Amino acid sequence: MAEVQAGRRRRRRRRNEGIVIHDDWAGYSLDLFSYPTHYSGDLDSVIIPHGVIMDRTERLARDIMDDLGDHDIVVLCVLKGGYQFCADLVDQIKALSCSSERTILMRVHFIRLKSYLNDQSTEDLHILGAEDMSFLTGKNVLIVEGIVGTGKTLETLLKHVEAFRPKMIKVAGLLIKRVENRSACVPDYVGFEIPNRFVVGYALDYNEYFRDLNHICVISDSGKKKYKI
Ligand code: HPA
Ligand code: MG
């Protein structure tokens, strides 16, 4: 029994660690991949190719199904940066659900958070489309985020969602950043832990650009200059 519990704890710990991308990982050369030519010169390297994101998402979907497969869930997609991850994660959960004995009923809702200008987090976090979320009361909620930095945004969002008294809240984050002042608030399911660099692609933006890029890349200094506001 103790062994079973220790195994469960280990698995849970691994789920919120994710694949660790170390600080000295320079990434793949852009020449090795296809990407929109309008971004040539705007990127330094590919740090997570699209195929790897998809493979990791498939595994996260399985972990989520193992934990929540007996429940119907309300997915709360955090726009805009989380839309691609959420769409792919929901697709993978659907595929697993269709091939399992008990299908999982999912409702998907969207909320929008905005706190970044250029590559800096601003103090004022805006939560849009979340004024009345009484439909969450008594439900199992899966919040889906593209990226978690210090965790302060997630903390604020969790407080907001908790006020509607859901039965359970789990968080899936594709990326968490290794930042010094990270709060204790970490997603339950993490795709990748990345260095503290500004990344774009796979719906993550820099002033609304780069969402139309499949891979997760590091933006170059000239890219930052070009799209600065
Ligand atoms: N890229 C895009 N959006 C973000 C990031 C990032 O690195 N960190 C927080 N929001
Ligand atoms: Mg953004």
How many domains are there within the chain? 1
- Which CATH number characterizes residue 110's domain? 3.40.50.2020
For 47, half-sphere exposure in the C-beta direction (CA atoms, 13 angstrom radius) is: 27
User: Residue 1: is its pLDDT beyond 60?
Assistant: no
Q: Which atom from ligand 1 is nearest to the alpha carbon of 198?
A: 7
pLDDT of residue 16: 78
79: helix, strand or coil: strand
Residue 17 lies inside a defined structural domain of this protein: no
Going edge to edge, which strands form the sheet with 199-200?
43-48, 216-219, 199-200
Pocket of ligand 1 (CB under 6 A): 81, 116, 147, 149, 198-200, 204-205
In a domain, 107, yes or no: yes
Give pLDDT, residue 14.
65
**Structural domain includes residue 176:** yes
Q: 75 is in which domain, residue-wise?
A: 51-201
Compare 200 and 117 and report the one with higher pLDDT. 200
- Could you tell which of 43, 112, 116, 216 is best to mutate to test the pocket of ligand 1, judged by most ligand atoms within 8 Å of the CB? 116
Taking residues 114-123, what's their average pLDDT? 68
**Mean residue pLDDT across the chain:** 90
The ipTM of this complex is: 0.97
Residue 167 lies in a domain: yes
Give start and end residues of each alpha helix (H) in the chain.
Answer: 2-15, 50-68, 83-98, 152-162, 221-226
Tell me which of 119, 175, 205 to substitute to probe ligand 1's pocket, judged by most ligand atoms within 8 Å of the beta carbon: 119
- Identify the band that residue 9 occupies on the pLDDT scale cut at 50, 70 and 90: low
Residue nearest to atom 9 of ligand 1 (CA): 149
Residue-wise pLDDT tens digits, 52-81:
999 999 999 999 999 987 788 999 999 999
pTM for the whole thing? 0.91
